């Protein structure tokens, strides 16, 4: 469809229900479908293989990513594990050095058992990606901005490097959503989402998506989706569709609030370091500006030694200490012990995920209230001399 993004959020995919005229796609809460005769069905056979509500969510996310084929999964990790199942013994991946902890966990402790290995690279430096590619490498896997240090990778440049060497590029676009960044249009081959985050947007559903353009690869992924079976349930598909309708208005507020908070943190005198690619001082600023329509709403920072980061978490009143991100409410987490605990301590330290690092998912509350909350929590966590 040739319409703009905010219209696409509401009318993309399968808009409404042709059978009844219902404005919303109904929740087809069914596991199976009546067959009219042997080998005669109406396009639906069994809900692991296909379900109309899930199909609507899949088509919607595909449209938003400007892709052809979409697949919905029971979680982001179900999406990731299905994509990783494309590879076989002896295959190797080149992976960004700071990505979602669960992705490292599944590589280290699950796909490792099948002889699939990986090397960690700072993908913000394309030369390092090029240097890491050898015959065994089959794909480059990046997040941009990456979790939790918001490192920005030049997607177009890394896609070119991958393609020149006959490899594919996989991008986890969870942090920005297609509202802000569309990796397929920058040359990526496969886009992955945890729909649990901004797409759902209300911290009430776990989901995952994969979008791509290549027909052959999509047929293999559909096969794997059905064979492995980690599909998104009808009700959860509906919740994600419902969340996506307001993605644009939510993201605008998320990004505006995050920009205000990042600037406040920098000049506050409370922090040693702020990671946010929307700051002109951030090393990823130029690339971020070139390839995305905004810097997102994830900020990481390191408090000055004068403050006790453990106490800080307890003193917050509005901002909630919790895993996850991308919901309307602001959440804060401690990557070293929470989201990235699965990464060995020495690797964490090497890539900069220090013990004092704090990750903030900026919600859509009034930004003054969020800044007041941060201020009182930091001040009341000052270490006693």
Ligand X SMILES: *Cc1c(COP(=O)(O)O)cnc(C)c1O
Known catalytic residues are 48, 100, 172, 197
| Tokens matching residue 145 | 């901005």
Q: Which of 93, 94, 171, 206 forms a contact with ligand X (CB under 6 A)?
A: 206
The C-alpha atoms of residue 230 and residue 330 are separated, in whole angstroms, by 29
Dihedral pair phi/psi, residue 218, rounded to 5°: -70, -35
By beta-carbon proximity to ligand X, the closer residue of 175 and 301 is: 175
Does the protein bind ligand X through residue 96 (CB under 6 A)? no
Does the protein bind ligand X through residue 144 (CB under 6 A)? no
Residue 99 Cβ vs ligand X, minimum distance, rounded to whole Å: 7
For the segment 180-199, give every residue that binds ligand X (CB under 6 A).
194, 196-197
* Matching residue, tokens 């982001």: 76
Does the protein bind ligand X through residue 147 (CB under 6 A)? yes
By beta-carbon proximity to ligand X, the closer residue of 94 and 142 is: 142
By beta-carbon proximity to ligand X, the closer residue of 191 and 378 is: 191
Say whether 302 sits in a helix, a strand or coil: strand
The string of DSSP codes covering 54-116 is HHHHHHHHHHHTT-SEEEEESSHHHHHHHHHTT--TT-EEEEESS--HHHHHHHHHTGGGGT-
Q: Which of 91, 143, 308, 356 forms a contact with ligand X (CB under 6 A)?
A: 143
Per-residue binding string, ligand X, 157-176, x by CB under 6 A, is: ---------------x-xx-
The C-alpha atoms of residue 225 and residue 209 are separated, in whole angstroms, by 11
Q: Which of 60, 77, 116, 370 forms a contact with ligand X (CB under 6 A)?
A: 77
The DSSP secondary-structure symbol of 183 reads G
Residue 179 Cβ vs ligand X, minimum distance, rounded to whole Å: 16
| Tokens matching residue 191 | 């886009």
By beta-carbon proximity to ligand X, the closer residue of 77 and 247 is: 77
| Total count of residues recorded for the chain | 385
Q: Which residues bind ligand X (CB under 6 A)?
A: 75-77, 100, 102, 143, 147, 172, 174-175, 194, 196-197, 206, 208
């Amino acid at each position: 469809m040739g319409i703009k993004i905010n219209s696409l959020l509401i009318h993309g995919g399968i808009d409404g229900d042709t059978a009844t005229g219902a404005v919303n796609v109904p929740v087809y809460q069914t596991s199976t479908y009546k067959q009219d005769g042997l080998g005669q069905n109406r396009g639906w056979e069994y809900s692991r293989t296909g379900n109309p509500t899930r199909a609507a969510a899949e088509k919607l996310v595909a449209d938003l990513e400007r892709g052809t084929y979409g697949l919905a999964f029971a979680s982001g990790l179900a999406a990731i594990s299905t994509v990783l199942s494309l590879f076989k013994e002896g295959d190797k991946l080149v992976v960004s050095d700071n990505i979602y902890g669960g992705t490292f966990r599944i590589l280290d402790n699950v796909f490792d058992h099948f002889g699939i290995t990986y090397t960690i690279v700072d993908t913000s430096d394309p030369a390092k990606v090029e240097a890491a590619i050898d015959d065994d490498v089959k794909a480059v896997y990046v997040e941009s901005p990456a979790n939790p240090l918001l490192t920005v990778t030049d997607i177009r440049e890394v896609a070119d490097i991958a393609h020149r060497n006959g490899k594919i590029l996989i991008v986890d676009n969870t942090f920005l959503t297609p509202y802000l960044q569309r990796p397929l249009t920058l040359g990526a081959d496969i886009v992955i989402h945890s729909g649990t985050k901004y797409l759902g947007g209300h911290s009430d559903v776990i989901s995952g998506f994969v979008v791509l353009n290549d027909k052959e690869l999509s047929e293999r992924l559909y096969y794997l989706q059905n064979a492995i079976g980690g599909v998104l349930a009808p009700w959860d598909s509906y919740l994600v569709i419902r969340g996506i309708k307001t993605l644009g208005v939510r993201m605008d507020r998320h990004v505006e609030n995050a920009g205000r908070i990042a600037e406040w943190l920098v000049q506050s005198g409370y922090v040693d370091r702020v990671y946010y690619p929307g700051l002109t001082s951030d090393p990823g600023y130029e690339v971020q500006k070139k390839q995305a329509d905004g810097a997102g709403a994830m900020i990481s920072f390191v408090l000055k030694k004068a403050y006790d980061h453990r106490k800080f978490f307890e003193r917050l009143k509005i901002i909630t200490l919790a895993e996850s991100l991308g919901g309307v409410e602001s959440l804060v987490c401690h990557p070293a012990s929470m989201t990235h605990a699965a990464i060995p301590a020495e690797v964490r330290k090497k890539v900069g995920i220090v013990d004092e690092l704090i990750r903030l998912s900026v919600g859509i509350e009034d930004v003054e209230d969020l800044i007041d909350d941060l201020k009182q929590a930091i001040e009341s966590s000052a270490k006693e001399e």
